[in-house]
Amino acid sequence: MPIHGFGEIAEQLRRSTVLVSPGGRGNGSGVIWSADGVIVTNAHVARASQMRIQLWDGREFDAALVSRDTRRDLAELRITAANLPAVAAADSSQVRPGELAIAIGNPLGFVGALTTGVVHAVGPLRRFGSEPWVQADVRLAPGNSGGPLADARGRVIGINTMVAGRLALAVPSNAVTNFLASDPIDAWLGVMVAPVRVPRPGSRSNAFGLVLLEVEPDSPAANASLLLGDILLGTDEKSFTSLDDLASSLQGSGPRLLRLAFLRGDYERFRRVTVRLGAQRIPRSAAAA
């Protein structure tokens, strides 16, 4: 069944979608959330304190990182601009399976690419923590991360984040609204991790760990000399049993220290490192130069 005004809806979504260039390799997408310069993208896209934003009309701006939440994989950027074509957000709690889903982004260098599908579910997934996801069968590729997932009326129901099996996963729009309404927190460690089972010397059971797959330059992890292949085991207060435990240990605001236990090449020798968190961020009321 054709959707009345679909071409216009798609065009508006394209105009509200931006290209995010964090520097180095790879670009991502972002969503103009407010007309005064607030851009929402994924935390894994916003890998630097200063980034470059390209609008649909070709204009480019420097963007400053305002806030970043690795637990929900969200980041807020700000550019110095006004009267931007902002999106309208839907209530993601009202999204139902079978609804049309429209994804816009910049996959593999194709700016403003559109793909459609249907929503399969809204809720948590095994192996992805307890937070809900909008799950849809739209086709995503590298570069789609941070772009909008919208309904048939063009209202954003989520921020496209990753692919799991044959489904695209998007952070629900209600989670984005809550993220933007909360006080800025700096829960950035600067790593990409994967869960692993670590043999315990003298025991038949294995311990839970998080192996570092990527350490971002100039991040708190890099400044603490953590390396690729290190396995995080926990903090001084608690051993990790899930990815959520690491995310919880990073929560807070302002400068602070976090002690982490980890392994490096030897399962019998536990190491500890102190990480400095809470690097100063630009306040929400300020604009990027």
Query: Is residue 73 annotated as part of the catalytic site, yes or no?
Result: yes
Q: Is 4 a catalytic residue?
A: no
Catalytic residue (choose from 21, 29, 44, 92)? 44
**Active site residue: 21, 29, 67, 145, which one?**
145
Distance in angstroms (rounded) separating the CA atoms of residues 151 and 101: 5
Count CB atoms within 10 A of the CB of residue 172. 26
| 3-class SS of residue 14 | helix
Q: How far apart are CA 23 and CA 223, in angstroms?
A: 19
What strands, in cross-sheet order, belong to the sheet with 231-235?
A: 191-199, 206-215, 231-235, 256-263, 271-277
Q: Residue 124 CB: number of other CB atoms within 10 A? A: 12
User: Residue 264 — left, alpha, or beta (φ > 0 → left; ψ -120 to 50 → alpha)?
Assistant: beta
Instruction: Judge whether 145 counts as a catalytic residue.
Output: yes
CA dist., res. 167 & res. 222, Å (int):
33
Phi-psi sector, 199: left (phi>0), alpha (psi -120 to 50), beta: beta
With tokens 């700000």, the residue in question is: 78
Print burial letters for 59-92: b (CB count within 10 Å at least 16), e (below 16).
eebebbbbbbbbbbbbbbbbbebeebbbbebbeb
Q: Is the dihedral of CA 126, 90, 157, 137 positive or negative?
A: positive
Residues with catalytic roles? 44, 73, 145
